[in-house]
Amino acid sequence: MATKGKGSKVNKTWLYDHLNDPYVKLAQKEGYRARAVYKLKEIDEEHRLLAKAQVIVDLGCAPGAWCQYLSRKLNLTLESEGNVLGPKVVGVDLLPMEPVAGIHFIQGDFQDDAILAQLESAVGGRPVDAVVSDMAPNLSGHSATDGARIENLIEMAVDFAQHHLKPDGVMVAKVFHGPGYDHLVGLFRDTFKQSKPYKPKASRSRSSEVFLIGQGLRKSVC
């Protein structure tokens, strides 16, 4: 009984915080699907990462708030997806996502070779300006296991960036403080000419999430 009561109290606290969250209210007002959009928006505006980006890959894109931001930023429309020379955004996620104007969505596991091949095909052989990743594995609660899963996801994302980004391309990836964090910071430092961790204001203070930002590949395989 005590456990049930504690869980109920936590759920009520989360619901209260969520309903009174200014970013939740702003997302509803501006028509975004999730408050997470303001994390990418702040990172972009603070560091001017996407000012000239035309080809962008969004990993872990559901429910689609980041895709919405990118669609609006690049002025994409329903007809944009078929334009092989214009701005292009490709999103990938295990979960389904409601359509977003101009976004090419692929549902599947980014770690699956078949899904990766679909992603490469969707990009159409064009070098990528930016890779943004809000991916996170289903957490088990076991810090070492979860840390290893996060490491694996980000390592694959960085490998994709090395093979598809332009030499001056950029990458943003969500990671978490804990096991494996220092390794991922080092991976970004070794991969990009400029790298830094950044915690947007929209990230809740109690959350261990932080975003790693990389700019300019040290060695392009593209």
Q: Is 159 annotated as a binding residue?
A: no
Q: Is 58 annotated as a binding residue?
A: no
The CA distance from 12 to 7, in Å, is 9
Q: What is the 8-class DSSP label of residue 170?
A: E
Q: Are 134 and 64 in contact (CB under 8 A)?
A: no
Q: 221: Cβ–Cβ under 8 A, 6 or more apart, which residues?
A: 162, 163
Q: 206: Cβ–Cβ under 8 A, 6 or more apart, which residues?
A: none
The CA distance from 34 to 64, in Å, is 8
Angle between the N-to-C axes of helices 113-123 and 143-164, in degrees from 0 to 180, rounded to the nearest 10: 40
Q: Is 168 annotated as a binding residue?
A: no
Q: Is 129 annotated as a binding residue?
A: no
* End-to-end CA separation in angstroms for the chain: 58
Q: Are 130 and 53 in contact (CB under 8 A)?
A: yes
Q: Is 14 annotated as a binding residue?
A: no
Residue from 174, 193, 196, 201 carrying the catalytic annotation: 174
193 is catalytic: no
Q: Is 203 helix (H, G, I), strand (E, B) or coil?
A: coil
Binding site: residue ranges? 64, 66, 93, 109, 134
Binding site for S-adenosyl-L-methionine: residue ranges? 64, 66, 93, 109, 134
Residues taking part in catalysis: 174
